[in-house]
Structure 1
Amino acid sequence: MSPTLADRLFVALQSVIPQHWFSARIYRLARLTWPPLKDLMIRAFIRHYRVDLSEALEPDPRAYTHFNAFFTRALKADARPLDPDPQAILCPVDGVISQIGTIEEGCLLQAKGRTYRVEELLALAPGEPHPFLGGRFVTLYLSPRDYHRIHMPLAGRLEQMVYAPGRLFSVNRATAALVPNLFARNERLICRFVTEAGPMAVILVGALIVGGLETVWAGEITPPHRGPEPERWDYPSEAQSIQLARGQELGRFHLGSTVILLLPAQSADLDSGWLAGSQVRVGQRLGLWRPAGAISR
């Protein structure tokens, strides 16, 4: 579907508003604890987006301290069963597949007619090597009504975390179709792991109104919105290791956005049935992995 005039005006507006200032105001609003206001916001949100609270660990909307606590709500233990196949690559979020496929000539597909380079997405220095050439990628969009915690696709040891400062364009379909290099331009948190399938990257992309990116090992990374250079945290040794189990919570968005999963070519295959536009949930099988170095038959 071609972008409409309304889509173009929406993107133009985003280009001129103070994105970080506006998102910071929303961040504060989402944490106000005055019951009449926070209850009003939560009720209006549930009604507008038809949020199903039957899966929530706390189904009473009035029990949440503020809007953000409701937005990042936990689910019941059995709400997202994990695929039982131990070789399954699990979906890390609830959402919609925006794009899925192979990293061809170092590029990922953003939208029809638009690609961007994996080196830019990973905030690498010029010429810095990475293991994802020819690998697999999945771009997953979280709508406002979705569950907003991110879970591990595979068991892994954290190797590096990079905060890459950037813009905060919306990441919806219209903006992806119109803004070049959208996911490599926006603020993002790049989490790289060592797994039995080899290297894996889970990238949390910030967006307009998304006032916070958080991980289970480091807490809130934003705010504040740092800059202008990327910040890196390395976890090089077993003594410093942070191990996360398959399906374990990795982090969360304070208001929603997009997750991009990168996997190596030699040990990961994505199921052919998944297409752009497919609805997905945490714990579903996206594909299968082989031990790093194994030969596919």
Structure 2
Amino acid sequence: MLKHVYRLMIELTNGRWTSVILRQFARSGISRFVVPSFAKIYKLNEDEMEKALHEYHTLHDLFIRTLKKEARMIDKNEKSVVSPVDAVIEDIGSIKETSEILVKGKSYSIQEMLGNDQTVTKYLNGTYMVLYLSPSHYHRIHSPVEGTIVKQWTLGSKSYPVNKMGLKYGVRTLAKNYRMITEVNTASGHIAIVKVGAMFVNSIEKIHKGMHLQKGEEMAYFSFGSTVVLLFEKGIFHLEPSIHTPKDIRIGEVIGILVKENGGA
């Protein structure tokens, strides 16, 4: 019963006033009374949390929780690309010459997603990956690679659900929701890390400062669940053979390797 209530709360966040009310509740001291039941319903792993459950004074604090340092191991291979989030890999594929990607049988335009014609060009015929975070996941986002931030920008104003139903029946959620895009230049080429909000306006908080990213370094966090879309420039990314969809993945686990633009490792 409680799980259905929580799901209803999450779906209500696509409305302006319900979003405001639920956001205020999640950040209020009253919400601490639902922290134990939420942790139980969504089977949160308390052993890996940096703090004990009773130390989270609001539901929002629990959503943006940090983990013990040893809870996630980052692959050290300099060529590897690691998952930036704890998530479910929902879709992987090629970016068409028309800039379209196909997610859950629905076409999305990365031109609309990125909002910049010049930026889009380098990703045509490249690879995309969609990683969905449910309310049960750890909500902090880490860098999948080492590299230099070329630019970072935000687009969109409202955020609608990006779960399976939202991706299938929503109105261009990945391309229209509030989103923060970070473009990173690596030794092999460019990667765009698109952080897509699922609830509330401006539900993505940036943590990282400076222009250089270490692989596994924390970049930002989501309030509640959301989605990360990774875009790889043509010819620079080889998918890890064991990856399939849907697949549960954790931060630091290998999702592929970077290769030189001429195809060499």
TM over 0.5: yes
Specify the code of the residue in structure 1 equivalent to 2:249: V
Alpha carbons 2:158, 2:201 under 8 Å: kept: no
Q: When you count helix as a share of all residues, which structure comes out higher?
A: 2
CA RMSD, 1 decimal: 2.2
Residue 214 in structure 1 maps to residue 214 in structure 2: no
Residue 77 in structure 1 maps to residue 69 in structure 2: yes
Alpha carbons 1:19, 1:168 under 8 Å: kept: no
Paired-residue identity, %:
27
Alpha carbons 1:193, 1:200 under 8 Å: kept: yes
| Cα distance between partner residues in 1 of 2:15 and 2:178 | 11
Gaps of 5+ in 1: 1-9, 219-240
Alpha carbons 1:19, 1:208 under 8 Å: kept: no
Normalised by the size of structure 2, how large is the TM-score? 0.88
Offset of 1:196 from its aligned partner?
1.4
Q: Counterparts in 2 of 1:1-297, with a 5 A limit? A: 19-32=15-28, 34=29, 37-58=30-51, 60-105=52-97, 106-112=99-105, 114-124=106-116, 129-209=120-200, 212-217=203-208, 242-291=211-260, 293-296=261-264
Specify the code of the residue in structure 1 equivalent to 2:252: G
Residues 107/145 of structure 1: CA separation in 2 closer, same or farther (3 Å cut): same
| Cα distance between partner residues in 1 of 2:131 and 2:69 | 23
| Cα distance between partner residues in 1 of 2:220 and 2:70 | 19
| Cα distance between partner residues in 2 of 1:147 and 1:95 | 8
Please list the CA deviations of residues 5-52 of structure 1 after superposition, one character each: whole Å capped at 9, or x if unmatched: xxxxx9xx97xx8623322322222211x3xx2331211211211111
Alpha carbons 1:99, 1:140 under 8 Å: kept: yes
Gaps of 5+ in 2: 1-7
Residues 18/94 of structure 1: CA separation in 2 closer, same or farther (3 Å cut): closer
Alpha carbons 1:151, 1:250 under 8 Å: kept: yes
The residue matched to 1:30 in structure 2 has which SS? helix
The residue matched to 2:27 in structure 1 has which SS? coil
Alpha carbons 1:215, 1:252 under 8 Å: kept: yes
| Cα distance between partner residues in 1 of 2:119 and 2:224 | 32
Residues 202/129 of structure 1: CA separation in 2 closer, same or farther (3 Å cut): closer
Offset of 1:175 from its aligned partner?
1.8
Which structure: larger Rg? 1
Count of aligned positions: 255
| Cα distance between partner residues in 1 of 2:216 and 2:55 | 27
| Cα distance between partner residues in 2 of 1:212 and 1:76 | 24
Residues 18/243 of structure 1: CA separation in 2 closer, same or farther (3 Å cut): closer
| Cα distance between partner residues in 1 of 2:157 and 2:78 | 37
Specify the code of the residue in structure 1 equivalent to 2:237: A
Specify the code of the residue in structure 2 equivalent to 1:67: L
Please list the CA deviations of residues 153-190 of structure 1 after superposition, one character each: whole Å capped at 9, or x if unmatched: 10122221121114322111112111242211211111
Offset of 1:65 from its aligned partner?
3.4
Offset of 1:273 from its aligned partner?
2.6
The residue matched to 1:169 in structure 2 has which SS? coil
The residue matched to 2:70 in structure 1 has which SS? coil
Specify the code of the residue in structure 2 equivalent to 1:116: Y
Please list the CA deviations of residues 253-275 of structure 1 after superposition, one character each: whole Å capped at 9, or x if unmatched: 01110000111122111123322
Please list the CA deviations of residues 34-91 of structure 1 after superposition, one character each: whole Å capped at 9, or x if unmatched: 3xx2331211211211111101111x11112322122111111111111232211100
The residue matched to 1:85 in structure 2 has which SS? coil
Segment of structure 1 superposing worse, 265-274 or 147-156: 265-274
